[in-house]
């Protein structure tokens, strides 16, 4: 299992790079490559501010190399990276029957580019990507005090399923590698 946080667990799917041109303002969505790590890291630090640098680095490597999810960046017409999207395929998600379930692990648009339709287009891209992987549902989460994220998800068509607090207990030792 991949490292988890309330915002979601993040892993990466080793598939051919995807690219989708979208409007109203043009933005290409492309799968993350190593040369995009600095921009991706900057946006992750904004979105997941409480995580330490070592956790970011370890999770980014998992995203980049795992076979269960994918990370994408949104590139504006100017060539600048303006958004990121982290997706995963999960076997089980509360409120969804059957799997795989597409999970929107993280979505971020830089503040100066918000309210331009990029977030909605990222969700549309995620839905298209999940359908191509055989998913019939997609899910996401938001921390309880993050009303902005909850409102965004509601406007994007997600229905609230549960309100919970998650816990974990370390079992010690190094994590086993999946075969």
pTM for the predicted model, two decimal places: 0.79
What per-residue confidence (pLDDT) applies to 136?
Answer: 93
Is the residue at 125 inside a domain?
A: yes
Is the residue at 62 inside a domain?
A: yes
Which residues, 6+ apart, have CB-to-CB distance to 173 below 8 Å?
none
Is the residue at 53 inside a domain?
A: yes
Q: Do 81 and 29 form a contact (C-beta atoms < 8 A)?
A: no
The span from the CA of 164 to the CA of 36, in Å, is: 34
Place of tokens 């795989």: 100
Residue 93 phi, psi dihedral angles, 5° rounding: -145, 130
Record the tokens describing residue 119, joined without a space: 């977030």
The span from the CA of 176 to the CA of 179, in Å, is: 9
- pLDDT tens series, the chain, 179 aa: 233 333 333 322 222 334 444 344 689 999 999 999 999 999 999 998 888 888 988 999 998 998 888 999 999 988 999 999 999 999 989 888 888 999 999 999 999 999 889 999 999 999 999 999 999 999 999 999 999 999 999 999 999 998 988 899 989 876 666 55
Is the residue at 52 inside a domain?
A: yes
Q: Which domain holds residue 107?
A: 19-155
CA torsion 110-32-125-16 (nearest 10°) is: 170
Q: Which DSSP symbol is given to 174?
A: P
Is the residue at 176 inside a domain?
A: no
Strand partners, 69: 88
Is the residue at 100 inside a domain?
A: yes
β-pair type (101-109, 138-140)? parallel
How many structural domains is the chain composed of?
A: 1
What per-residue confidence (pLDDT) applies to 9?
Answer: 31
Task: Give the chain's length.
Answer: 179
Strand runs labelled E in 23-166: 27-31, 69-76, 81-90, 101-109, 138-140
Distances (CA, A) of 92 to 23, 52, 80: 33, 28, 36
Is the residue at 1 inside a domain?
A: no
Helix (H) / strand (E) element for 38: namely helix 37-47
CATH of the domain at 51: 3.40.630.30
What per-residue confidence (pLDDT) applies to 68?
Answer: 86
Place of tokens 């956790």: 55
Is the residue at 163 inside a domain?
A: no
């Amino acid at each position: 299992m991949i490292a988890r946080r309330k915002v979601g667990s993040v892993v990466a799917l080793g598939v051919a790079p995807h690219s989708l041109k979208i409007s109203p303002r043009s933005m290409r969505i492309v799968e993350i490559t190593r040369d995009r790590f600095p921009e991706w890291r900057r946006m992750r630090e904004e979105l997941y501010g409480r995580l330490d640098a070592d956790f970011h680095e370890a999770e980014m490597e998992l995203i980049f190399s795992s076979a269960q999810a994918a990370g994408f960046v949104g590139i504006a017409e100017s060539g600048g990276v303006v958004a990121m999207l982290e997706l995963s395929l999960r076997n089980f998600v509360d409120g969804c029957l059957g799997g795989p379930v597409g999970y929107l692990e993280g979505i971020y648009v830089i503040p100066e580019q918000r309210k331009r339709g990029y977030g909605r287009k990222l969700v549309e891209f995620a839905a298209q990507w999940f359908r191509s992987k055989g998913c019939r549902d997609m899910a996401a989460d938001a921390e309880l005090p993050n009303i902005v994220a909850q409102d965004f998800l509601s406007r994007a068509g997600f229905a609230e399923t549960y309100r919970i607090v998650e816990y974990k207990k370390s079992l010690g030792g190094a994590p086993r590698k999946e075969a």
